[in-house]
Structure 1
Amino acid sequence: MPRRLLNTSRLSLENFRRELASVDALPQLCLLAVISGALTGVIMIVFRELIELGALGLMPEGRTEAFEDLPVMVRMGLPVIAVVLIGLGLGWQKKSARRLGITHVIERFSYHQGVMARDNWFNQWWVGVVSLLGGLSAGREGPAVHLGAGASGWIGQLLKLPHNSLRVLVGCGVAAGISASFNTPIAGVIFAMEVVMMEYTLTGFMPVMLASATGAVITQLHFGSAPAFMLPSVIEPRLLDIPWLLLMALAVGVMAGGFIRLACMGERLVRVPWVLRILIAGVLTAAVALFYPQVQGIGYDSVETILAGQASLDVLLALALGKLILTAVTVACGIPVGIVGPTLVIGAAAGALFGLGASALLPSMAGEPNLYVMMGMAAMMGAVLQAPLAAIMALLELTHSPDIILYGMLTVLSAALTARLVWRTQGFFVMPRQGSTQHPLQQPLMQALSRVGVGAVMDRSVTVTAAVITRERARVILDARPTWLLIHRQGDQQKADREPGKAPLALLAADMARAMEEEDQTGVDQEGDGSINLLEIPGKRLELAPIDLQATLSEAFACLDDQRVDALYVRHITAPMMHRVSGIITREAIENYYH
């Protein structure tokens, strides 16, 4: 028989899961990344088409941000109607189901190993559409990230993949969502690594890059390659612009820090009923829209107006200060809206104001106005997110001008540092979870252990046995050469799991072999009936607690501390209420792996 060139046994789903538990499962992760990016791209097409469909019935000529052309009462009524719909749709649901957008994704990534909640994902669809069509100051990148991360995470949950690979899949969905929103695949990668995953590793970079590129390709096939807003063809910075840009960065940094502080004031409003809070946000938006409808929606049309030099001074002030306050208050009042898009608009208006001021004071030294607009956008984004690299890469991809990078680095870093020092902020998406302890993703040990599944480190040489067995059964067990014996004291695995006081014990098989050898030499039968009681023979028995095969080493480490046990036995769920033991993992094994 000819030798088979393909070993089909390696193609099983169980082997695929086992390989993904390792820290260097790049081929498998890259395959999943392509699927994740394509799925996220399709979802973004559907989401944007839903918004376009709604605009056909609400907006003049079907333009999604034509709030300026609406009758006054209509544009004032839209945000109030939007918050009423959001209140009716979310008010009856539990509080945890109201958490949407990038904040929710980071929470699930940090504290739930990337396992996404379905209720929140379904809510994100209609809340995102209602927020944008209703004229609230909101962006579409928040829904894009949540929808992409949720769909990508479900791939892993459906296949019951290890949580370490699930986390990478969520990062892939985040990158593809940003890439599909702005047509900026590199910025999508950096955003995922810098804001959500908070780490840079080869295992994370390659899959995330593939997902981001795939998402961009899918959306460009449908919408074309045009950026989110039209930009000037040429921007020529000069060294003389650097002092002015640094001054602008200081002002933008102060604005960004104030935005974060104001948006985080929601914790002080917990005593105010949630329905009343969101109604306040809707009424405030309607009041500002009475005079300046430009603050409604994302505001990308306003950016194009600013770049064309057609925005009046009062409109620029309304966008720079009014939209900043409005967006922050909307978030503080508990309405889950995206903030990246609005921060870009706020930064563009602030940069335009500074450019006008520089031209008025020293016209001979002032640079090109659009330079300040673009730098203001990047500076505000970098300072609010405390993600300078993502902002710089977005600037590069939007302008297609490598000459601007030096000036972007100085401006973005100065603004981010100013916001951090003046307001003592750690970024918009870190501040809401800030407390007395360090954020989980800022702990090097937890980061390292989260990259590996228990399946890659556990000892698979385990035999499950009852506490009292015959000598014949003991010999059969030893012939299989296991390392560990997992002893169920009641002989009922399911019952032992439900009764912590009677949880299984682990015993080294070598201890049983030694006890049997001593009995053979002395001729003394401890039980007197030819059986062996594994709870009484000499040897160290480890108290155990269960953990699922999908768990990461960080989950195992936390479980050892919480349960105060010596080791964990790894369970593989085979059917509802049924599972089998796949291995044993000790604290020593985890520590040895890390070191």
Structure 2
Amino acid sequence: MQQFFNTQTATLRFIFKWTLLAIPLALLTGSLVALFLWSLDEVTKVRYQHTWLLYLLPLGGILIYFLYKKLGKNSEKGNNLILDEIHTPGGGIPKRMAPLVLATTLITHLFGGSAGREGTAVQMGGSVAAWLGRVFRLEQKDVSIMLMCGIAAGFGAVFGTPITGAIFALEVLIIGTLTFHAMIPCLVASFLADVVCAAWGIHHTKYSISSHDFQPIASYLHVDVWLLLKVIVAGACFGLTSRLFAVLTYQIKLQSNKLIPIPWLIPAIGGCIVIGFCFALGTTDYTGLGVSGPHENSVNIVNAFHAGGADTWSWLWKLLFTAITLGMGFKGGEVTPLFFMGAALGNTLAILFGTPVDLMAGLGFIAVFAGATNTPLACTIMGVELFGGEYLVYYALACFNAYIFSGKMGIYSSQRSTSGKIL
């Protein structure tokens, strides 16, 4: 009886302690994410109004290079630095990471680089968490939990998906393994950061999947067998797309560093390549974030949920634009472009398979992300938070199938793996 009482008392102390620690982390991270999202909207509006800014993308790349060279130190590693610090503490995460990644991501988007926002939010959360760990003089094991909370807070706030943020922070560390020791702290930090971000008046894009009448296998299992088979095939396609993006981004970074002897020329040439692709395609739809566009008929994530909202190869063009942008030195996240690739590919597959466009676009939205980050459970929950739970079975099937088919390589090189994905 005494042992039971001691266990419950320790549990209550743990919850109370981490709730108190999560409050300042959530206040700071949620506010920084709100500032970032507001700033990102503003620079995107400026770019839409002044299309000539695209021609300054090479100069923006050079500016980013010198900012990191002069101020960055180990901040250059980005999300991987946070994962490394959780796995093997000691290197430290500099306070400068947060303002530096914020500024350089805005530069990327102002001039038309194809990048996302999750990396920026996660790095700001990690930087704040590391700083608070030093302020509160936490033990090393607590610093690791604090960093997980920073990841959860940044991710949950930037997408408005707090449950996903908490699960992502735990699942992203080790491929195929999910430990729950930090679940409660991560949930508290993610929820509070999302509340703080929303309190600043930030609104996230709303996505929806309509209700569709499918022929169920049985009265107690409301899924369509033919649709299940199509989702299995689509999941494999989503996973292969994730793998293509990860491999191509890595190879572009590797080869550009080998072939271009002057480091600051790498982002400059990358910017020129992006400009060249825009001219060749006759559109700037694949630059920037890609959630919405400068005109009603732009190819973007929102429009991909509707028939005719994406071209057959839109997903591939976004993949190329993003791999070049990030592989050649520009800053920003990968996740929102992955959403774009998945939704656009889902749009194409829906037409090919004769399935509802919004459903297949939604599945691609979460599944390509699942394959690239090796976080199928978090992405399944993201589907519920973004689209509702009606199609949960399809979310899970698409995400876990994409995870399997994406292979060993993901977008985070510091992820660890204890075993293969199948055996």
Matched with 1:427 is 410
- Offset of residue 268 of structure 1: 4.2
Greater relative contact order (Cα < 8 A, sep 6+): 2
- Deviation readout 1:467-514 (Å, 9 max, x if unpaired): xxxxxxxxxxxxxxxxxxxxxxxxxxxxxxxxxxxxxxxxxxxxxxxx
CA contact (8 A) 1:138 1:297 kept: yes
Q: Select the residue among 290, 293, 316 that pairs with 1:321.
A: 316
Counterpart AA for 1:111: T
- Offset of residue 335 of structure 1: 2.8
- Offset of residue 75 of structure 1: 5.1
The separation in 2 between residues aligned to 1:397 and 1:160, in whole angstroms, is: 35
1:362-511 matches, within 5 Å, as 366-400=354-388, 402-420=389-407, 425-429=408-412, 432-433=413-414, 439=416, 442=418
Counterpart AA for 2:43: G
- Offset of residue 389 of structure 1: 0.5
CA contact (8 A) 2:232 2:401 kept: yes
The reply on whether 1:280 has 2:263 as its aligned counterpart is no
Partner SS, residue 223 of structure 1: coil
The separation in 1 between residues aligned to 2:248 and 2:54, in whole angstroms, is: 24
Q: Decide whether aligned partners of structure 1 residues 200 and 97 sit closer, same or farther in structure 2, where only a CA change above 3 A counts.
A: closer
Matched with 1:99 is 77
Q: Decide whether aligned partners of structure 1 residues 344 and 55 sit closer, same or farther in structure 2, where only a CA change above 3 A counts.
A: closer
1:293-372 matches, within 5 Å, as 293-301=284-292, 302-313=300-311, 316-317=312-313, 319-358=314-353, 366-372=354-360
Percent of pairs with identical residues: 21
Counterpart AA for 2:323: A
Between 1:409-418 and 1:189-198, the stretch displaced more is 189-198
Matched with 1:163 is 140
The reply on whether 1:247 has 2:233 as its aligned counterpart is yes
The separation in 2 between residues aligned to 1:147 and 1:46, in whole angstroms, is: 11
Q: Decide whether aligned partners of structure 1 residues 211 and 236 sit closer, same or farther in structure 2, where only a CA change above 3 A counts.
A: farther
Partner SS, residue 427 of structure 1: coil
- Deviation readout 1:82-133 (Å, 9 max, x if unpaired): 2132133234456634333x22322332333583112333311211211222
The reply on whether 1:80 has 2:66 as its aligned counterpart is no
CA contact (8 A) 2:46 2:110 kept: no
Counterpart AA for 2:393: L
The separation in 2 between residues aligned to 1:259 and 1:128, in whole angstroms, is: 20
Partner SS, residue 330 of structure 2: coil
The separation in 2 between residues aligned to 1:382 and 1:153, in whole angstroms, is: 27
- Offset of residue 139 of structure 1: 0.7
1:14-163 matches, within 5 Å, as 25-55=14-44, 57-60=46-49, 71=51, 74=52, 76-93=54-71, 96-100=74-78, 102-112=79-89, 115-163=92-140
- Deviation readout 1:493-549 (Å, 9 max, x if unpaired): xxxxxxxxxxxxxxxxxxxxxxxxxxxxxxxxxxxxxxxxxxxxxxxxxxxxxxxxx
CA contact (8 A) 2:105 2:332 kept: yes
The reply on whether 1:187 has 2:164 as its aligned counterpart is yes
Q: Decide whether aligned partners of structure 1 residues 58 and 325 sit closer, same or farther in structure 2, where only a CA change above 3 A counts.
A: closer
CA contact (8 A) 2:116 2:337 kept: yes
Matched with 1:590 is none
The separation in 2 between residues aligned to 1:390 and 1:236, in whole angstroms, is: 27
Q: Decide whether aligned partners of structure 1 residues 275 and 216 sit closer, same or farther in structure 2, where only a CA change above 3 A counts.
A: same
Q: What are the ranges of 5 or more consecutive residues in structure 1 without an aligned counterpart?
A: 1-18, 61-69, 359-365, 444-595
The reply on whether 1:261 has 2:250 as its aligned counterpart is no
Q: Decide whether aligned partners of structure 1 residues 352 and 75 sit closer, same or farther in structure 2, where only a CA change above 3 A counts.
A: farther
CA contact (8 A) 1:115 1:157 kept: no
The separation in 2 between residues aligned to 1:78 and 1:236, in whole angstroms, is: 50
Aligned length: 389
Counterpart AA for 2:270: A
Matched with 1:215 is 193
Matched with 1:482 is none
Q: Decide whether aligned partners of structure 1 residues 354 and 117 sit closer, same or farther in structure 2, where only a CA change above 3 A counts.
A: same
The separation in 2 between residues aligned to 1:41 and 1:340, in whole angstroms, is: 19
Partner SS, residue 113 of structure 2: coil
- Deviation readout 1:364-412 (Å, 9 max, x if unpaired): xx22111110111111011111110111111111001x22111111111
Q: Decide whether aligned partners of structure 1 residues 108 and 268 sit closer, same or farther in structure 2, where only a CA change above 3 A counts.
A: farther
Q: Select the residue among 207, 213, 231 that pairs with 2:208.
A: 231
Q: Decide whether aligned partners of structure 1 residues 327 and 236 sit closer, same or farther in structure 2, where only a CA change above 3 A counts.
A: farther
CA contact (8 A) 2:343 2:361 kept: yes
Counterpart AA for 1:54: V
- Offset of residue 57 of structure 1: 4.4
Partner SS, residue 181 of structure 2: helix
Partner SS, residue 338 of structure 1: coil
Partner SS, residue 293 of structure 1: coil
The separation in 1 between residues aligned to 2:365 and 2:47, in whole angstroms, is: 29
Partner SS, residue 49 of structure 1: helix
CA contact (8 A) 1:41 1:218 kept: yes
Matched with 1:467 is none
CA contact (8 A) 1:260 1:384 kept: yes
The separation in 2 between residues aligned to 1:44 and 1:97, in whole angstroms, is: 18
Q: Decide whether aligned partners of structure 1 residues 91 and 113 sit closer, same or farther in structure 2, where only a CA change above 3 A counts.
A: closer
CA contact (8 A) 1:252 1:379 kept: yes
- Offset of residue 43 of structure 1: 1.1
CA-atom RMSD in angstroms: 2.7
1:559-578 matches, within 5 Å, as none
The separation in 1 between residues aligned to 2:162 and 2:192, in whole angstroms, is: 9
The separation in 2 between residues aligned to 1:389 and 1:326, in whole angstroms, is: 28
The structure having more radius of gyration, on CA atoms, is 1
CA contact (8 A) 2:346 2:360 kept: yes
Normalised to the residue count of structure 2, the TM-score between the two structures is 0.84
The separation in 2 between residues aligned to 1:196 and 1:374, in whole angstroms, is: 25
The separation in 1 between residues aligned to 2:107 and 2:335, in whole angstroms, is: 18
The separation in 2 between residues aligned to 1:280 and 1:268, in whole angstroms, is: 13
Counterpart AA for 1:298: L
- Offset of residue 202 of structure 1: 4.4
Q: Decide whether aligned partners of structure 1 residues 187 and 83 sit closer, same or farther in structure 2, where only a CA change above 3 A counts.
A: same
The separation in 1 between residues aligned to 2:147 and 2:28, in whole angstroms, is: 12
- Offset of residue 229 of structure 1: 4.2
Normalised to the residue count of structure 1, the TM-score between the two structures is 0.61
CA contact (8 A) 2:341 2:368 kept: yes
The reply on whether 1:292 has 2:292 as its aligned counterpart is no
Counterpart AA for 2:159: F
